[in-house]
Structure 1
Amino acid sequence: MKALILAGGTGSRMRPITHTAAKQLVPVANKPILFYAIESLVAAGATEIGMIVGETHREIRDAVGDGSRFGATVTYLPQDRPRGLAHAVLISREFLGEDDFVMYLGDNVLTGGITDVVRGFREERPDAGILLTKVTDPSAFGVVETDAEGRVVRLEEKPARPRSDLALVGVYLFTPAIHEAVRAVAPSARGEMEITDAIQWLVDHGYAVRPTVVTGYWKDTGNVTDMLEVNRSLLETLVPEVLGTVDEASELVGRVRIEAGARVERSRIVGPVVVGARTVVVDSYIGPSTSVADDCRITGSELEFSIVLNRSRIEGVGRIEASLIGRDARVRRAEHIPRAHRLVLGDHSSVHITD
């Protein structure tokens, strides 16, 4: 069974972080989101992977390589611009051949993996398999309506008036029947070839579409709020370990991982927290659900429920929470009066000031 990972999106809702980084490579729990998708596919036995890439293709290629580090082989499939999930299948026809395949959105996280789902699909082999979960705001997703027997009746992409609270999770399973379906659909009002339309075509033409409601944690990491929530969820599975150094004046509480070369001095860290390699934490507090990446420095500060990316410095700023701090950022306290906030912000930045 082959796999198709979509990693070509521009990440407009994650700006300014995605001005300088592919959204699929932004880390949660100190690992790029994309890597979780690859690992799930490999664990399920789908090791021959086609990866749809766009304008961030060089960064994706540098991070993933040929896939051997994951136990996979990766073929890169360029897409000139995002044209919809059905279009991604359409341009992957030669790579996919006549094989069944899993399509996985590269910015989605599904805890617990997909091994059982893939096994069930192989055993029953419907024409398509879709994963569903109940959501509070269906209008933001592809929505699926089922009948009293649980059969798929209707699919609709981001409907203004949803007929159901069942949303499509970003993992799909297909037999070669999908190729005829994607050739049959036209671009939607959004200008994209929707996979919901292609699956609807399968339903309308009598093909078997098997829905599975997932009970595990799933998130589409499309914005900062979702990123922080995924980070929190993944850190709940953290295995505590101290590979760096922690002095006697410091305290580690709960699930805390200190990576090799990191140093903690006169600080308190309450897990789940991961502190990256060669990062220095001095006279500070780091609270639950926080990931600090490699080569950072945190001094005289408090940090909680946040993500800090590589090489950033946080110095004497009091308490920071619910924040995503990008690479090479510097956050520090102003040393002179009058008291004022001095900001250098990129496009699409968001700042919340309390005083």
Structure 2
Amino acid sequence: MKALVLAGGSGSRLRPITHTSAKQLVPVANKPVLFYGLESIAEAGVREVGIVTGSTAVEIKNAVGDGSGFGLDVTYLRQEAPLGLAHGVLIAREYLGDDDFVMYLGDNFIVGGFAELAARFRRHRPAAQLMLTRTSTPQAFGVAELDSAGQVVGLEEKPVRPKSDLALAGVYMFTPAVHGIIENLKPSGRGELEITDAIQGLIDAGERVDSAMITGYWKDTGNVDDMLEVNRKVLETLEPRNSGTVTDSELVGRVTVAEGARVVRSRIVGPVIVGPDTVVRDSYIGPFTSVEGGCRIDASEIEYSIVLRGASIQGMRRIERSLIGRETQIVPASPTPRAHRLVLGDHSQVRIST
């Protein structure tokens, strides 16, 4: 069994961060989202992994390398344009050969991985096996319709009137039967080759399509709010550890201070992670905040945020629910004189608070 990781999307909903960085490499608890997926693949007993990349191919290759750090053997497959999930499978046809495979969306996050689901797929080998989760916004996802026996009987991609609240999570398992369907797919109204159309093609051909409900936590980290929510969820599992230097400061709850970091005259209330060589001075860092390495936080307050490598925050009274990019500098604006500029007609009456 092989794995196909789709990491070619542009990440438009995470701009401006993704103007200069791959969305799959935005960190959660100071580790890129993509790395969690690769670890889950290794835990499921899969070793050969094809990563489909687009315009951020160089950055992803530099981060993942040959995959040996994850116990994987990684091959990179270039997708010239994001033309749909099924298109990712199409360009990987030669690499996948006649092997079964798991398709994993590189910007998805699943707590607990999918090892049990992979074992079930290996035992029964349906043509496809899907992971489903209930959602209050099915219009934003591929949606599955099940019969009374729990078998998948229909799928729709981002339907206007969903037939269920069962969204397809970002893990799909296939036998080679799917390739013949995808080779004959036509682009959808969105101009993409939809994986939901491919799975529907398997159903229409009389192939068996199984599903399983996710019992843990799943999130598509496609926007800032989702990133902050996933960061919160991971930080809640954090084991407190202080490998840095803490002086005249208070660490409360689950706080990790990495080696080389310095915390001076500050208060940190966990769960919080502070990366290596970061300096926190005369500041407050509140719950659900991750700060990458090489940052500087001075005379400031920040909470429920993600701060990327090399950022500097100085003299800020309060920052919340924020995603701060790499090498960013945040400082107070220079004070300016306060004045009123008025253009008033005849006989006007104006009341101005002083």
Q: CA deviation at 1:12?
A: 0.7
Equivalence map 1:303-318=2 (5 Å): 303-318=302-317
For 1:129 and 1:139, locate their aligned partners in 2 and report how far apart those are by CA, in whole Å: 21
Q: CA deviation at 1:184?
A: 2.3
The DSSP-based 3-state class of the residue aligned with 2:181 is: helix
Q: Where does residue 42 of structure 2 map in the other structure?
A: 42
For 1:41 and 1:296, locate their aligned partners in 2 and report how far apart those are by CA, in whole Å: 31
- Which structure has the larger Rg? 2
Q: Where does residue 346 of structure 2 map in the other structure?
A: none
Equivalence map 1:278-317=2 (5 Å): 278-317=277-316
The answer as to 2:232 corresponding to 1:232 is: yes
Q: Where does residue 221 of structure 1 map in the other structure?
A: 221
Q: CA deviation at 1:187?
A: 0.5
Equivalence map 1:253-268=2 (5 Å): 253-268=252-267
Q: CA deviation at 1:335?
A: 4.1
The DSSP-based 3-state class of the residue aligned with 2:316 is: strand
The DSSP-based 3-state class of the residue aligned with 2:326 is: coil
The answer as to 2:28 corresponding to 1:28 is: yes
Q: Where does residue 343 of structure 1 map in the other structure?
A: none
The answer as to 2:320 corresponding to 1:321 is: yes
Q: Where does residue 274 of structure 1 map in the other structure?
A: 273
Q: CA deviation at 1:181?
A: 1.4
Asked if the contact 1:263–1:280 (Cα under 8 Å) also holds between the matched residues in 2, the reply is yes
For 2:233 and 2:110, locate their aligned partners in 1 and report how far apart those are by CA, in whole Å: 10
The DSSP-based 3-state class of the residue aligned with 1:130 is: strand
1:269-304 C-alpha deviation (Å, 9 max, x unpaired): 111100000000011111111000000000111111
Counterpart amino acid of residue 254 in structure 1: G
Q: CA deviation at 1:338?
A: 3.1
Asked if the contact 1:127–1:207 (Cα under 8 Å) also holds between the matched residues in 2, the reply is yes
Asked if the contact 1:184–1:198 (Cα under 8 Å) also holds between the matched residues in 2, the reply is no
Q: CA deviation at 1:339?
A: 6.9
For 1:70 and 1:165, locate their aligned partners in 2 and report how far apart those are by CA, in whole Å: 35
Q: CA deviation at 1:185?
A: 1.4
Q: Where does residue 191 of structure 1 map in the other structure?
A: 191
For 1:109 and 1:99, locate their aligned partners in 2 and report how far apart those are by CA, in whole Å: 25
The DSSP-based 3-state class of the residue aligned with 1:318 is: coil
Asked if the contact 1:289–1:305 (Cα under 8 Å) also holds between the matched residues in 2, the reply is yes
**Unmatched segments (≥5 aa) in structure 2:** 340-354
Counterpart amino acid of residue 69 in structure 1: G
Q: CA deviation at 1:201?
A: 0.4
For 2:302 and 2:104, locate their aligned partners in 1 and report how far apart those are by CA, in whole Å: 33
Equivalence map 1:98-117=2 (5 Å): 98-117=98-117
For 2:220 and 2:44, locate their aligned partners in 1 and report how far apart those are by CA, in whole Å: 20
Q: Where does residue 346 of structure 1 map in the other structure?
A: none
Equivalence map 1:69-108=2 (5 Å): 69-108=69-108
For 1:339 and 1:152, locate their aligned partners in 2 and report how far apart those are by CA, in whole Å: 65
Q: Where does residue 209 of structure 2 map in the other structure?
A: 209
For 1:145 and 1:127, locate their aligned partners in 2 and report how far apart those are by CA, in whole Å: 17
Counterpart amino acid of residue 4 in structure 2: L
Q: Which runs of 4+ in 1 moved over 4 A?
A: none
For 2:177 and 2:192, locate their aligned partners in 1 and report how far apart those are by CA, in whole Å: 20
Alpha carbons of 1:289 and 1:208: their partners in 2 closer, same or farther (altered >3 Å)? same
The DSSP-based 3-state class of the residue aligned with 2:228 is: helix
Asked if the contact 1:185–1:198 (Cα under 8 Å) also holds between the matched residues in 2, the reply is yes
Q: CA deviation at 1:183?
A: 1.2
Q: CA deviation at 1:153?
A: 1.1
For 2:151 and 2:333, locate their aligned partners in 1 and report how far apart those are by CA, in whole Å: 61
For 1:333 and 1:11, locate their aligned partners in 2 and report how far apart those are by CA, in whole Å: 30
Over aligned residues, Cα RMSD in angstroms? 1.1
Q: CA deviation at 1:102?
A: 0.6
1:140-160 C-alpha deviation (Å, 9 max, x unpaired): 000001111111111000001
Equivalence map 1:172-183=2 (5 Å): 172-183=172-183
For 2:114 and 2:199, locate their aligned partners in 1 and report how far apart those are by CA, in whole Å: 20
Counterpart amino acid of residue 285 in structure 2: I
